Amino acid sequence: MNLFEKIKAGDIRSIARLITQVERRDPEAIKAIKEIYPHCGNAHLIGITGPPGVGKSCLVSELAGKFRAKNRTVGILAVDPSSPFSGGALLGDRARMFELAGDKDVFIRSLASRGASGGLSAAVNDAADILDMFGKDIVLIETVGVGQGEVDIARLAHTVLLVLMPGYGDALQAMKAGIMEIADLLIVNKADLSGADEAVAELSTVQGFQGMREGQDKWVAPIIKSSTLDGEGIEDIAGAVLKHFEYVKEQGLLRKKNRDRRTNQFLDIFTQRIRDEFMKLVKTDAGIQRWFDKIGDLELDPYSASEQVIELLRKAREQERESRKKLRNEYVLRSETTYR
Amino acid sequence: MSDENIRVLVGKIGLDGHDRGGLIIAQALKNAGMEVIYTGLKNTSEGVVEIAIQEDVDIIGISILSGAHLVLMPILIDELKKNNADDIPVIVGGVIPPGDIPKLKAMNVREVFPAGSLVEETVACIRRLVKEGRKKTIAS
């Protein structure tokens, strides 16, 4: 059995190993992803984001329990930050998810961000595909604890939960651009603390300004109070998440969301590949090395250098087109002589 | 593969409420550039093995301060075998009487770090065991 077949058969160790290899950009793993890709697209991807310490991991664990009770199989991808100094990471989400232990229909994987800055890790797209292929109905993707601008999750998930807690800030905070705009559900977690109702009121006031989802779909994010201590609101959140997915499907937004996700994924991979290939070229090409020297010595600015590279590519494409045209003309000419 | 991105499970099994030692080790391993999957307190052996497999860790580090190591470790080692995961090395740290160290090693615990061990020793041991393990995987 090759890796793809093992995964199709549901071999947990192979699945786990494949995610590791994907994180390392192992060529074997990329080969497997190519095989997996056409079989994806069945899972509902749910993003859970919010500042550190608002209770995302506990909420993910509780939500997973609710989805399991509804007989959905669940995958969880929990991203925590890598150290910018050592490269190491403390992946602590597991410590909040022990209630899911022993359930064969739950697969949890912690991922270190490994230098990615948008709240996710570079491997998370592929990891989500692996769990999708593995037959998980729902994949919960928990971002690192974020600030205001880490919105990569909106390009990946079908439904995004923004988790806040009492005292997160006032209406002005809630009106800011960035993370507040990507929420399909607004959660005020730790509702057992004082100030939860005020937080909900602030959020709904801002929503009343109609500014939050300008240029997006007509979905109005429900604001839900929750507490993982006593289970308040968890069932409501699970219900609202599923309702949002229904809305996405009914409105014909699913194809667009998937397309946007894949376009972004393609552009990310493509730009990275171009960069890698270019850097390989630099190592062997003295001419390009001289460019770097010139840029470094302020003789050539990086904008002009980029334009020159793109110009070179354009010329190469034109040349190719010309030679193809020539070939075709010759072929037509030849066939005309033959059939005459 | 260099020693970058070594994935280590750090956890506690059984009824043992003291996690200071485990947290110190987790922090030290993070600072040594490793990815630490910290499982928290009071796990079962079955739970730890499940996590180790899903997280595809290179090594399992168990902290025990309860004195129950001779009871709990055989269960964990057995559980690894049952799940065809006994290729994942296991090390133990905590309050372990010197006389118990050979007993643990006889159960296939690869290394034991009793009270007073240096974190540097643990880091070096993990690097060595993981390197050996990865070499074996490539050879097989």
Taking only the tens place, the pLDDT of each residue in A122-170 is 899 999 999 999 999 999 999 988 877 778 898 999 999 999 999 877 6
pLDDT, tens digit, for every residue of A247-304? 999 999 999 999 999 999 999 899 988 888 888 888 888 888 888 899 999 999 999 9
Task: Flag whether pLDDT at B1 surpasses 50.
Answer: no
CA distance B139 to chain A (A): 16
| Residue ranges of A 2-21 with Cβ closer than 8 A to chain B | 12-13, 16-17, 19-20
CB contact under 8 A, A12 and B26: no
Residue in A with minimal Cα distance to B31: A86
For B14, phi then psi, to 5°, come to: 80, -175
- What ipTM score was computed for the predicted complex, to two decimals? 0.89
Q: Is residue B1 part of a domain?
A: no
Task: Flag whether pLDDT at B22 surpasses 60.
Answer: yes
Residue ranges of domains in chain A, CATH in brackets: 1-38 (no CATH), 40-252 (3.40.50.300), 261-339 (no CATH)
Lowest mean pLDDT among A7-11, A230-234, A274-278, B65-69: A7-11
Q: Is residue B129 part of a domain?
A: yes
Separation CA A110–CA A49 (nearest Å) = 15
What was the pLDDT predicted at A214?
54
The total domain count for chain B is 1
Q: Please state the rounded mean pLDDT for residues A2-12.
A: 79
CB contact under 8 A, B56 and A98: no
Q: What is the pTM of this model?
A: 0.88
Domain of residue B93, residue span: 7-139
CATH of the domain at B33: 3.40.50.280
Q: Which residues pair with A75 in a beta bridge?
A: A107, A139
What was the pLDDT predicted at A170?
65
Q: Is B118 exposed, middle or buried (0-12, 13-18, 19+ CB in 10 A)?
A: exposed
CB contact under 8 A, B39 and A107: no
Q: Is residue B2 part of a domain?
A: no
Tell me the percentage of chain A whose pLDDT exceeds 70: 93
Chain B CB contacts of A87 below 8 Å:
4-5, 33
Sheet holding B111-114, edge to edge: A89-91, B35-38, B7-11, B59-64, B90-94, B111-114
Task: Flag whether pLDDT at B90 surpasses 90.
Answer: yes
User: Which of A92, A102, A114 minimises the CB distance to B47?
Assistant: A102
Strands (E), A194-242: 223-225
Mean pLDDT (chain A) is: 88
Strands (E), chain B: 7-11, 35-38, 59-64, 90-94, 111-114
Chain A CB contacts of B35 below 8 Å:
82, 88-89, 91, 110, 112
Q: Is residue B77 part of a domain?
A: yes
Separation CA B120–CA B24 (nearest Å) = 12
